[in-house]
Amino acid sequence: MGNETKINLIKNAKNLFAKRGFYGVSLASIAEKTGVTKQALLHYFRNKESLYGEVLGDISNSLNSIVISSINENKDPKLQLIHIFDALLKRSLLEKEETMLLMREILDNKNRSDTSQKWYLKDFLKSLTLILNKTPNWKNASEAELLSSIYILLGSIEYSVISEPTLNSIYGKKIYSSFKNNFPQSLRNMVLITVNQGCEHFKELK
């Protein structure tokens, strides 16, 4: 029963953090949604930061498992990246709350960055940059160049997933449906262009 309660607390915390952000959620609201007292919640998590870290850690483990699975299934780093971003898009569409929460983490973390004890997504980002660095045209790239390109690809996934209501309203369901169907191939094309183009595009055109 105890483990089930903890799992439900993390699940409900993820839902509320995604909707309201770190600062918009209280421990009392998470406890209420789970059907337990605040004191019962504090039995599992010493404070809100601890619970939030557990949520981010859970997401981080899922993302890292996607990377590990791709590395195990493909020897070519280019294929690894294609597989990873395909899987990330599918997961983002299935777990929209996670995508929203990660976007909110970027916004909220401006005030929390000086006190954060652990960066849960660091290993995930590092893994992606290392894979890109193994492709022929990126072997001499700096860490900043690698991260910039990876971040652009990750951002395109997040924006495509969370902008559904807005794009539906602007363009209508028919065009949005077509956009949604075309996006996976567009993302693969972006990955291929990034890999094939290499870090040369960072050099200033003269």
Q: What is the pLDDT of residues 39-88, one digit of tens each?
A: 999 999 999 999 999 999 999 999 999 999 999 999 999 999 999 999 99
- The confidence score (pLDDT) of residue 86 equals 97
Q: Are 189 and 89 a contacting pair, CB within 8 Å?
A: no
pLDDT band, residue 1 (cuts 50/70/90): very low
CA-to-CA distance for 132 and 69, rounded, in angstroms? Answer: 16
Structure tokens at 19: 């909707």
What is the distance of C-alpha 20 from the center of its chain? 17
Averaged pLDDT score across all residues of the chain: 90
CA-to-CA distance for 95 and 87, rounded, in angstroms? Answer: 12
**Residue the block writes with tokens 């970027």:** 106
Mean pLDDT of the 133-154 span: 94
Mean pLDDT of the 140-145 span: 93
What is the distance of C-alpha 137 from the center of its chain? 26
- The confidence score (pLDDT) of residue 2 equals 65
Mean pLDDT of the 136-144 span: 94
Is residue 117 pLDDT above 70, yes or no? no
CA-to-CA distance for 10 and 61, rounded, in angstroms? Answer: 14
- Percent of the chain beyond pLDDT 70? 91
Note the maximum CA span of the chain: 66
Structure tokens at 104: 């909110």
Residue 140 CB coordination number (10 Å): 10
Helix (H) or strand (E) run with residue 200 in it? none
The Cα-based distances of 197 to 135, 139, 181 in angstroms read 11, 12, 25
pTM: 0.87
Mean pLDDT of the 16-43 span: 93
Helix (H) or strand (E) run with residue 45 in it? none
- The confidence score (pLDDT) of residue 111 equals 63
Structure tokens at 102: 């990660």
- The confidence score (pLDDT) of residue 102 equals 86
- The confidence score (pLDDT) of residue 206 equals 38
Structure tokens at 108: 């909220």
Residues in the chain: 206
Q: Are 70 and 80 a contacting pair, CB within 8 Å?
A: yes
Q: Are 22 and 61 a contacting pair, CB within 8 Å?
A: no
